[in-house]
Each structure stands twice: as C-alpha cells, then as structure tokens.
Structure 1
Amino acid sequence: MKILIFKGSSRYDVLSTYSLIATTELRKLGANAVTVEMNLMNSNDYLRLIEKFKPDLTLGFNPVTYFYEDEKNHIMKTGIPHVLRIGDHPFYHLNNRAMLNPNHPKLLTLSTEKFFEQAFETNKVTRYKRITTLPGLNVSKQVKFNDKTIPLCYFGTYHSVDQIILDMQNQFKENPIILKVLMDFCGDLNYLLINNKKYIQNPIELLLEQYIRDSLKLDGESIDKVVKLAFVHVDLFHRNLTRKLALIEIAESGVEMYTFSAPELQNVLGHYPNVRFFNPVSYLESLHIISQSKANINITPMFTSLHERIPNSFLNNSILFSNKMVDFMESNKELSEGSVFFDQDTISDSVNHLNSIINNENIFNDLTEQNYILAQKKFTFKQELTMLEQCLKNDF
C-alpha cells in the first residue's frame, strides 16, 4: 500500500511527531509510506508529488490540507482517498480545512471516541466511522521495577478556570442574556463536580444544548449557533475544572508526583511539597518519561473511550491512573483490571490502591507485563495498517 502522511503545524507537537512516527512504523511493516512535510512543500509541490508517487490513499492525524482554486481542498482537487483521524471534538473541525465537506465521498473521518458519535449525527455527517485501535509506541525495552525513577507523572495542558470565564464574558458581553445562561451552566457544572463529586458521563454539548433550550426561547437553528459559539469556552471550563479538582485531591494524598505542564498549574499545586514542577516536554520525551514512571496520570473528562496516554502507558510498562472512562472500561475489561480508575469522590481510595501496586514489585510486574501483552494485540501500528487496508477496500 502506498500512503502519503500529512505533517503540518500544530501548537501541540504530538500531532507532527506522531505523523513522523507513523511513517516510520508503517514502513517497517512493508507499507510504502512517505511524509508530506507541509511546512516545506506548497500546494503545487504536493500535486507534483501526487503525480510522481501515485498514492493509494492519504492520511492525516488532524484536518490539515492544501487549498486550490475555488476553495477546493486537496481531497476535492485530487480525488485521492483521504483518511482523517481526529482526536478532538468534531465541533473544532467540521466544515473547515480537510473537513470542508465532511461527506465528500473521498474523505473518511475516523475517531475512537464514542462521545463524538452524537455530534456527527447531529450535523448529518455520514462519512464517519468509529474505530477501537490507537497505536502507541514503546520507546525503550521494558524498564524494570527497580529502575523506575519516577513514582507518578502527569502530562497535560492546564488553563486557569478563572481566565476561561473571563474570556467567555468578553466574547458574550454584547449579549448579556446568553452570557447569564452560560455562566449559570458553568456554575452548575462547578456544583456537580465539587458537591456531587461525580464526573459527567454525557457529551458536554448535549447538556449545554438542553440547558439553553430550557432557559431561552430560541428556535433550533439559533440554539445550534449558540452551542457552537459557546462550546470552546464550556469545553475548556469542563476539562480544566475537572483536572484542577482531581490533581488537588491527588496532591493532598501525599503521593510523590512529577508534573509536566504550563506554569499555571504551579499556581494551583505549588504549596504541596510532594509535587514537582517541570516545563512541558516534547511528545517523544514524554514517552521516555512514561517509560521511567511507575504510573501515569490521565485526566480527560471529554473522552470516555480512549486517549493516546492510555496505550502509551501500557506499552511503556507504566500503570494507568485515570478518571473513569466507561466505554474503555466496558470494552477492555482485562486492561481495565490492570489499571486504576477514579471518580472525584474515590480519588483518595484510588491513590491508596495505586500505592499498593507501585510499591509492590511482584504485583507491579504481573500487571504491567499482562497489560503490555494485551496492548500488543490491539494498540500497535500493525493493527493500524490492517485498519487502513480495510478502509481502502470497503469505504472508498
């Protein structure tokens, strides 16, 4: 199979680095994979590459594209099948860039996230498929228990919850009625997480839509517009409030934790002596740090199925310590048994359970070895290549 893999620019280097990793790993498996360096090649260079290489399909890990006359993107221009993997909510991408026409017959959008299905259905996207594989990468031979140098690590962006609210107030200051509804909604989210101490198990945009529908007398089209305008603020608020509350609980347990995040996180956790702070690192460096860690924190309330930190924990001999991800837990029972999942009201007990694993060599080795074997059957580029071959055969 001949595959062109798009590598564009992103504020997170995980996407560009992952594109290079995918090219290397797929070539090892026999695919003729070539990276499209979009920072070096312009749109005409790409057409010349297409003519010379004659790919069976193109692949993107975010919706990067080239544009041509009449606002045609590279899919419309060339007619070559394009597989697009998205890792974030469809609202950030629909009707833009590679997803300019999300139902184009030569575009197939893939995602592992069950939550996203509703957004695609609501927006009448039919060229969409949910998959269950997400390749991770083992960056070193299995680091032994006594050679692990980090008890618990955390990677992830953190934005000030107060600043997110200020940004939302600024955007909607000309519409105080809508702003009040959004402020009330965020206030209710805050109450649920702090008082009920349970993570939300429904797509946030559905809760927001219903809240607006119950609060304002608007027609369906107007509600859709408000939801999409407000979504980025509400989504950020939900993500970062959940992370803030969870990390405070973990820090208060006393477990030694290494954090690799934005400086804002130090404003939240700076007074805990068991928490160490480091600047964000590259994606590749994060994999090496995970391999040196006994456990790896994942706090992704916007996902219930999968996140790249999950297979990378398993493949690098680290115990996954994550917020509850119901769909993943139901679909991967054995891997879930070798992990520790928490809700906001169970973090203290979950940390105790985690400590019983990472401080016991025999238990740690048994679980990480089992997780590695299971992950090798599901979360590698061998499964990715098989999936791409099936997409080319069945979906184009």
Structure 2
Amino acid sequence: MIYWDHNAAAPVRPEVGALLARAFTQGGFGNASSVHGGGREARGRLDAARAKVARLLGCEPKEVCFTASGSEADALALVGAYAARPGKERRRVVASTVEHPALLGALTWLEREGAQVVRLSPAPDGRVPLEAVLEALTPDTALCSLMWANNETGVLQPVAEVARTCRQRGILFHTDAVQAAGKVPLTLREVDADLLSLSAHKFGGPQGVGVLVVRKGVDVRALTPGHQEGGRRGGTQNVPYAEALALALELAATEQSATATRVGALRDGFEQQVLTRLTGVTVNGAGAPRVPNTSNLRFDGVEGEALLMALDLEGICVSSGAACASGTLSPSHVLRAMGLSPAQARGSLRFSLGTSTTDAEVARVVEALCTHVPRVRALEAEASVG
C-alpha cells in the first residue's frame, strides 16, 4: 500500500508505539489526580509530558492544556475564550472561510450566542490577503482566528503578521496549527499567538489527544467543567497519550528541517511529472507558500471520487478533501472559497506525503494517474453524451 494521506492521519511512530505498549502493559495506570503513590507517579509523568511540550513550543508548562483532539482544542479556543472575554462589549470575531470544519462549527455556535462573525475569503491561490485581515480587526474585535496551514491545500496563511497586529491592538489571536506541526518551524517565537491548537495524529502520535496552548493572562471557560488542566478541561487526564504526544512532537521537531527538504523535493517532483505528462491538471494553491508535503491537484473533466477509487484499487491512498468531511457529497468548502466551481472542486484530489514516502512511490503514483485519468475522463465524457 502507498499511503499518501498523512494530512488525515500520519502513521504512529515506532518510538511512540513502543512507549504506549510499555504504558499499557507495565503498570503506571494511576489517576493523576489521586494522592497515593500511583497517582503521584502518574502526575509526575503528566507533568514531564507537559514540560516537554512547553519546551518544544516555547511556552510555559502551565500554558499547555491537553485535549482529546485538535477539534476540541479549536472549539475550546473560540467558544471558551469568547465566553471568558473581559470586555463584553467586544462582540466581533474574525476568521476565514477556509478554516477546518471544527472551527467553522465553533463560529456558527458563537453566532447563535450573539457574536458578530466576520468570515474572510481567500485569494484564488488560497491565501487570505493580509490587508483584508488587518482591515477587519476593528476596535470591537474580541478574537481573531486564522489557521497556520490549510489541511486541504497546504497553503500557509500570514499568521505571524496577524498575530503581531492583534497583540498591538489588544485582540486575542488563535491559530489552528494542526497541519503545521512537523512541516514548518513551529514555536510561539515564530507566531506570537494567544491560543494555539495541535493534534498528535498529524505528526506521528496516536489519534485521540491534542493540545491547546493558552498563554498567560488569557482565560478560557471550560466546555467540560472540572478541576483538571487548570480548570480549563474537566475529565481524567490520559497520561499515556499525553506522553505519546510529547514524544511525537519532539521527534517531529527534531526531524522537521531534514524532512521538509526531502519530502518537499518529492512533492515538487511529483507535481512536475504530473503536469508534464497529463493535460488539464492544475495545482490548487500554486503560487502561495505551502507546507512541503501537500499537493492538491485539479483534474479537468474528472470526477474525483471515481479517480480516488481507481487509485485505491491499486493500493494508493489519497483524499478528496478533509478527512472530517469524507462521505459527504458536497464539494470542498476550501476549494469553493478559492473560486472553484462545484465540478472543479469535485475533480480535485489531495496527495499528502510523509516521512516514509519514497521516489519509487512517486513513480508508481504518477504512472497510476497517467493510466487512470484518461480512462476516467473518457468514461465521464461518454456518460455526459449519453
């Protein structure tokens, strides 16, 4: 199998799998809130994991809040921070139309609660114009959220500049950094965010654990009441998964530069070969800065789902958009926001490479596309005539 869907879920790193195996088979199952020896041992492991994440991200340990996913981190950031905002007269929330579905859902919830939500559209290359964001940051703005890297196109947004301006204007800034971790340098020195979301399974950790960084002085109201995580998230902490996230993040950060160079060269070579050998192919997001592993290709005259299934039969795993939206018939909201028609959006596939990707895989995927794209086009043309 050729697995080119790392943006949906990256394989668990062997070191992380070994850590989890030890955690689940060699004891260490105490509740981190218990006062007995087993609980204190679990608390020590949790504190160590929190400190490691803080060191890697450039923040303080008490600013790290473990969650069950990146989606939960996004919701806690927006809903929690808006509910706890000190200046209740500030009701404006600024975000983009190309955010992750979890964040878009949080925006809809805020709107029902009386927030004035401003959704900014990207340019055709998928990047939200910096000038448009800065213009939208009016004095009544409470919160601005802009994803670091898009999950479908890999396009990088101007988060550093927006964070800097928000800081100057007293506006809270959140960035969904789920797709940036392990692909670009990621610390709060690069982007001075008040709130930052991560998800372990995007960089070699297990599914079911994430992080929300909440900087000192920022309050969030818990979505699940409880005393854990500094009162920001109730529920017994998953100590092994917190440790696994910390280890995966450490490994990803250590390898980031070398991986970006190698995988970026593979991605660029893949796109060049496809564009050279096939007609009617466009790179969605071309011209904008992108993370090095992601290629979103539009195939004219092709139904993306049919091409995806043809590739799947050859053992090639790719995606037609966000994994969270799979199974829906609606075209990608990201590609539609970039100006693509419904047919063009449905004719697009996402190829997200990873640390295990090889030159041989690139050659196989290119050959498969050169075989199946003309066939699917011919079938689509025949069906339209009929």
TM-score range, shorter chain: 0.3 to 0.5
Instruction: Please give the TM-score of this superposition, normalised by the length of structure 1.
Output: 0.32
Which structure features the higher share of helix residues? 1
